[in-house]
Amino acid sequence: MAKQGKLSLLGISAFCESMASMLDAGIDIAEAVSLLKQKGKSSGQLNEGIDVIQKSVEEGSSLKDAMVKSELFPDYVLDMVEAGEATGKSEDVFRRLSDYYGRQHSLTEKIKTTIIYPLAMIVLIIIVLYLMLKMVLPAFSDVYETLTGSLSESSFAYIDYAFLFCRIAFVVMIILVLAVIALYFLYNSSLKEKIQKLLSIIPGFRSIMENLALYRFTSAYEVYLSSGSLQDEALEKAAVMADYDPVRTRIDECGKRMAEGHGFAVSANDCELYEPIYARMLIPAEKSGNTESTLNRLVDLLSDSVMDNADHILNSLESVLSAVLMVTVAIALLSVMLPLIGIMNSIG
């Protein structure tokens, strides 16, 4: 299993950006690493890791081996640092890693919001329903019970229906919350592929998972190419970043086409790895030698697509849940107001 590391996505991005800036300024690696330590703090995960890296580099270890000893970084970062050292492109590699993990952080936060915000709305609906069932409806029901002489049986029926509706809605909302929590834990378990297949039934989620996997693969592929890797080698290494099975299948097919002597752009187009409009961008770029810049543009487009899909799902869920909340409150209020209207009419 690939080592995941301990630094957050944003922490990795900040580390790589700082390293790129200092290497660009001509600072040697050992000094650059020492400058990353937080002054006034002798402990902490990052400082302890930096101490290990600095000591290892001063003892003659490569930066990649030193970073391995710190246990702060995932395998992808370590592989890219090794490639950067081998080709003399450490600064470029760190810069691209910073961009990659910065985007990853933004996308991850967006996806979290897409999940957490609707979940919070559902919890709010549950609270409102609980208050209706435990306080509002029983209070009005007790009042009307004392006035049975002036109320018809149909008036009480409104409250009975409201109780039934609120109970059903309450149970449904509880089930939804439990389902979302269960899916979250199952998604992060060995059942991830099965959960992905389940979620892929929903068009919006399928698009997010596909574009997110393509984004991760394309970002990694572009960085491997920029570090000096050959196309087939870069594709093989970058394929592990795509964690959505349908995309992995198309990448494997693309690899087979490349093994037959075709370039990446043609192979990607033939295997329909990307949408046609994206694939057509790569063919002229590859012929003109602008593959890396076009891949970088493609990464931006895929990132924007994930963001747009997440926004669409979030807006749709917000509208649906807001409607559910308003309908629930409206039905409950009408159920207690209609008997009151009957009382007022009987008094008048």
pLDDT higher at 255 or 45? 255
Report yes or no on 279 lying in a domain: yes
Same domain for 207 and 285: yes
Q: How many domains does the chain have?
A: 2
Q: Where is the domain boundary, 20, 55, 73?
A: 73
Report yes or no on 346 lying in a domain: yes
- Provide the residue range defining the domain that includes 272: 103-348
Same domain for 150 and 275: yes
Q: Where is the domain boundary, 25, 58, 73?
A: 73
CA 166 to CA 331: how far, in whole Å?
A: 9
Query: Which pLDDT score, from 0 to 100, does residue 256 have?
Result: 92
Same domain for 68 and 113: no
Report yes or no on 53 lying in a domain: yes
CB contact burial 90-112 (16+ within 10 A = b; e otherwise):
bbbbbbbbbbbbbbbbbbeebbe
Average pLDDT, the chain: 81
Same domain for 184 and 123: yes
Same domain for 147 and 41: no
CA 220 to CA 303: how far, in whole Å?
A: 14
Average pLDDT over residues 188-202: 76
CA 261 to CA 98: how far, in whole Å?
A: 33
Query: Which pLDDT score, from 0 to 100, does residue 318 have?
Result: 82
Same domain for 53 and 197: no
Residue 225 tokens, joined = 């190419």
Maximum Cα–Cα distance for the chain, whole Å? 97
Which range scores top for mean pLDDT: 1-10, 96-105, 326-335? 96-105
Query: Which pLDDT score, from 0 to 100, does residue 234 have?
Result: 86
Query: Which pLDDT score, from 0 to 100, does residue 153 have?
Result: 52
Same domain for 184 and 63: no
Same domain for 207 and 139: yes
Q: Is the pLDDT of residue 242 over 70?
A: yes
pLDDT band at residue 1 under the 50/70/90 scheme: very low
What's the start-to-end Cα distance of the chain, in Å?
A: 78
Same domain for 334 and 238: yes
130, 135, 141, 143 alpha-carbon torsion, rounded to 10° = -170
pLDDT band at residue 344 under the 50/70/90 scheme: low
Listed in sequence order, the DSSP H helices in the chain are: 9-24, 29-35, 45-58, 63-70, 75-87, 90-131, 137-145, 153-187, 192-199, 203-226, 231-238, 245-259, 264-270, 276-288, 291-347
Query: Which pLDDT score, from 0 to 100, does residue 151 have?
Result: 46
Average pLDDT over residues 89-101: 86
- Are 32 and 23 a contacting pair, CB within 8 Å? yes
Report yes or no on 269 lying in a domain: yes
Same domain for 262 and 150: yes
Report yes or no on 87 lying in a domain: no
Report yes or no on 314 lying in a domain: yes
Flag whether the pTM goes above 0.85: no
Residue 253 tokens, joined = 């097919």
Same domain for 185 and 110: yes
Same domain for 118 and 65: no
Q: Is the pLDDT of residue 209 over 90?
A: no
Report yes or no on 331 lying in a domain: yes
pLDDT in tens, 140-150: 777 666 665 44
pLDDT band at residue 85 under the 50/70/90 scheme: confident
- Are 121 and 328 a contacting pair, CB within 8 Å? no
Report yes or no on 3 lying in a domain: no
Cα 166 to Cα 133, 160, 328: the distances in Å are 7, 10, 7
